[in-house]
């Protein structure tokens, strides 16, 4: 693998993923040594009501050298879980997938290969080569992609693909306000506005085999629509102020800067 990294923080959000958690961490422990010399795995338990939190603690106890967990006492939402993962990351490269095992951890190698090419992009955004989702989610995704293109000029073919890789330094100075499903789009919009380079690479997508998806729930969709228009309207009023609103994506020097500088 030509894109091998020296250090990688890999995280994933997990809400009621007791059926997937052990398998995903075992998969990551097996796949990441081929991608990075040193790595960490961060589980973000987003207020799960099942055994996700307990299992996460057991996984940390078994491998405290590489596995960590962040617990949310209540379900804060997908974006808030991603934010916690970014802020917990300690290394200079940061990647995430979802906790539902619809992406293979080994396929992060496709992203690291692209990141280490001569043009050295700031972020590599995966796109699902063939979506393994129900029709309603595919239709939502197409409409959402079109809306982000029209209203924000975001030319990303699969905005919410949960397989992304970032240079930590590229996230400095970026703040995101959405705590819901609009988080990924807002992050990409603000990275592009800050002059960061974004590239895309195709990744396989697999059907969910355990657990229940929540992305198409009306409450999730409503929150994403609300956050979408909040950013669009505030950008019309004061673009610079709107781009600076929200919580910093990475922790500052005093609370969580990469130990590698």
Residue pair 108/95 in contact by the 8 Å Cβ criterion: yes
First to last CA, the chain: 25
The pLDDT score that the predictor gives to residue 139 is 85
**Element housing 18 (H / E):** none
The pLDDT score that the predictor gives to residue 148 is 97
The pLDDT score that the predictor gives to residue 210 is 84
Helices marked H in 19-107 — which ranges?
Answer: 21-31, 52-62, 78-88
Residue pair 80/186 in contact by the 8 Å Cβ criterion: no
C-alpha span between 14 and 27 (Å, rounded):
15
- pLDDT by residue for the chain (261 residues), tens digit each? 568 999 999 999 999 999 999 999 999 999 999 999 999 999 999 999 999 999 999 999 999 999 999 999 999 999 999 999 999 999 999 999 999 999 999 999 999 999 999 999 999 999 999 998 888 888 888 999 999 999 999 999 999 999 999 999 999 999 999 999 999 999 999 999 999 999 999 999 999 888 666 656 788 989 999 999 999 999 999 999 999 999 999 986 433 443 333
One DSSP character per residue, 21-39 reads HHHHHHHHHHHGGGTEEEE
C-alpha span between 168 and 123 (Å, rounded):
9
Cβ neighbours for 191, distance < 8 A, ≥ 6 positions apart? 122, 123, 170, 171, 174, 198
Cβ neighbours for 236, distance < 8 A, ≥ 6 positions apart? none
Q: Tokens standing for 79?
A: 């974006």
- Cα separation values, 168 from 141, 180, 251, 259, Å: 27, 22, 10, 12
Q: What share of the chain is helix, strand, coil (3-state, %, to 5)?
A: 40, 20, 40
C-alpha span between 166 and 8 (Å, rounded):
10
Residue pair 146/185 in contact by the 8 Å Cβ criterion: no
Q: How far is CA 215 from the centre of its chain?
A: 14
> Which residue, chain included where needed, has tokens 């800050």?
194
The pLDDT score that the predictor gives to residue 3 is 84
C-alpha span between 58 and 64 (Å, rounded):
10
Helices marked H in 89-216 — which ranges?
Answer: 108-115, 135-152, 183-193
Residue pair 213/100 in contact by the 8 Å Cβ criterion: yes
Q: Tokens standing for 222?
A: 């409503």
3-state class of 85 per DSSP? helix
């Amino acid at each position: 693998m030509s894109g091998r990294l020296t250090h990688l923080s890999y995280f994933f959000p997990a809400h009621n993923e007791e059926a997937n958690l052990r398998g995903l961490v075992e998969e990551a422990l097996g796949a990441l040594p081929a991608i990075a010399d040193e790595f960490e795995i961060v589980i973000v338990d987003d207020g799960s009501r099942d055994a996700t939190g307990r299992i996460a603690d057991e996984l940390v106890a078994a491998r405290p050298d590489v596995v960590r967990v962040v617990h949310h006492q209540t379900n804060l939402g997908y974006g808030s879980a991603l934010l916690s993962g970014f802020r917990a990351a300690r290394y200079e490269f940061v990647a995430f997938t979802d906790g539902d095992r619809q992406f293979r951890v080994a396929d992060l190698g496709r992203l690291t290969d692209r990141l280490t090419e001569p043009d050295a992009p700031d972020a590599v955004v995966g796109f699902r080569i063939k979506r393994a989702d129900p029709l309603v989610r595919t239709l939502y995704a197409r409409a959402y992609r079109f809306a982000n293109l029209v209203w924000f000029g975001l030319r990303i073919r699969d905005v919410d693909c949960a397989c992304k890789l970032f240079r930590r330094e590229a996230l400095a100075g970026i703040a995101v306000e959405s705590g819901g499903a609009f988080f990924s789009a807002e992050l990409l919009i603000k990275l592009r506005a800050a002059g960061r380079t974004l590239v895309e690479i195709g990744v396989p997508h697999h059907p969910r085999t355990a657990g229940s998806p929540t992305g198409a729930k009306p409450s999730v969709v409503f929150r994403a629509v609300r956050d979408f228009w909040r950013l669009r309207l505030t950008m019309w009023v004061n673009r610079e102020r709107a781009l600076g609103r929200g919580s910093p994506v990475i922790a500052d020097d005093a609370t969580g800067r990469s130990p590698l500088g």
